[in-house]
Amino acid sequence: MYCPYIASAMIDAEDRIHYNVSGLLIYDPVIGQNDIQGNVPAVAFVDYWSGLFPFNDSFVSDIHSRASSCGYTDYLNKYLVYPPVGQQPDVIAGQYDNGTTKPECADLYYDIAYAALDVNPCWNIYQVGATCPLPWDILGFPGTYMYTPAGANVYFQREDVKKAIHAPLNVTWSECTDSDVFVGGTDSSLASSIYALPNVIEATNNVIIGHGAMDYVLVANGTLLTIQNMTWGGQLGFHSRPTEPLYIPIHDDPSLSMMAGSGVMGTVHTERGLTYVGVALSGHMIPQYAPSAAYRHLEFLLGRISSLSSTESFTTDANASQHTGPIGNGNAPQGFANVDSIIATSTDSTGNTTSFASNFGHLLPGLTSLVALPVYITLVMVLFG
């Protein structure tokens, strides 16, 4: 969430000796209003991944009723369209005139998360496909829980590691802080989509926003809804729906510990210097869940390939053979406004028209913690020429 502000401040300094920013890559970012990134898209996310949310009928009926009565369903149908129908209101569905969320709407997102934990105690808010047994991370996080099994050590908490990086031995390391990081305990900054992010896009013509399709902490279509309310390059939002394929080159996997996917692994779209890329099987941390996709994003950010739909080999594995025929459309859930299934048609880059069923809704959470989730993580890369 911080990276657009940092990059924008560097650009505004007009100091190319110290701050020669030439691009920005952020993953699953916080860029918009809390409710738009949380309560508004939550139910449609459950609909899309219904097999991973095996709720009973009464609960499913309840969350749909609340999404409808709070105005969230109509809001999505109206505003998650291409091109955008216009600027979204400052006070959105489910809010009082002062911008606070109505009590009956405020907990929809978290009620879904807690219900998911009831039926699947190992459910991971960062990657909703996880099941028991509970996995762990060498950094002790992230997951729905902070968890380190008996006998294991968090890497940066080890004394030898602290000594190697000259860190204080008496300080406990944590991947995410459980204390407030804002002056006075309140973040009063404008959402980055209002000024900071458009400023970076216009200055560099090289900004990538990536999203894992299986992330419920920050969900892809919630960010797309925010993009449709963002002005850059003199225009509002994307004018065409993301449909292009994200192609990851065929490559050698030298060991079982280093395997990573290839082929069409998501959906990508670029307009006016902003590229949105959804990664189909990834959770929140794209470099962790889909390392080959993240590496391809880096190649594009560095200007080493012309497009994320290109079937060129990795620049570091140039001799690997690739697909030569049509690869069709992207396959990550993208920005469909309707909650009910429809049949849509799309024409890919080869001129082939494809019909496909969609039940793509919207997704994204608020900015308060759930269980042991003190701070959301945004991955970023700022390039200096």
**Which tens digit of pLDDT belongs to each residue from 17-72?**
999 999 999 999 999 988 998 899 999 999 999 999 999 999 999 999 999 999 99
Range with the poorest average pLDDT among 36-40, 195-199, 309-313 = 36-40
Examine residue 7 and state whether it is found in any structural domain, yes or no. yes
Examine residue 216 and state whether it is found in any structural domain, yes or no. yes
Examine residue 19 and state whether it is found in any structural domain, yes or no. yes
Q: What is the mean pLDDT of residues 235-256?
A: 94
Rounded percentage of the chain residues whose pLDDT exceeds 90: 69
Residue 361 — very low, low, confident or very high, per pLDDT cuts 50/70/90? Answer: very low
To the question of pTM greater than 0.75 for the whole model, the response is: yes
- Residues making up the chain, counted from first to last: 385
CA angle (109 as vertex; 59, 4 as ends), nearest 5? 160
* Structural domain of 225: 3-129+184-384
Report d(CA 28, CA 215) in Å as an integer. 8
Residue 329 — very low, low, confident or very high, per pLDDT cuts 50/70/90? Answer: very high
Q: How many structural domains comprise the chain? A: 1
Q: What is the pLDDT of residues 268-291, one digit of tens each?
A: 999 999 999 999 999 999 999 999
Examine residue 149 and state whether it is found in any structural domain, yes or no. no
Residue 383 — very low, low, confident or very high, per pLDDT cuts 50/70/90? Answer: low
CATH of the domain at 352: 3.40.50
Partners of 347 in beta bridges: 353
Residue 334 — very low, low, confident or very high, per pLDDT cuts 50/70/90? Answer: low
Strand bridging mode 263-271 / 274-279: antiparallel
**146: three-class secondary structure by DSSP:** coil
Examine residue 202 and state whether it is found in any structural domain, yes or no. yes
Q: Who's near 30: CB < 8 A, 6+ residues apart?
A: 1, 37, 192, 218, 367, 376, 378
Q: What's the mean pLDDT when you consider all of the chain? A: 86
The predicted structure's pLDDT at residue 337: 47
Examine residue 328 and state whether it is found in any structural domain, yes or no. yes
Q: What is the mean pLDDT of residues 199-210?
A: 98
CA angle (187 as vertex; 182, 192 as ends), nearest 5? 120
Q: What is the DSSP string of 225-240?
A: HHHTT-EETTEES-SS
Say whether pLDDT at 133 is over 50: yes
Residue 141 — very low, low, confident or very high, per pLDDT cuts 50/70/90? Answer: confident
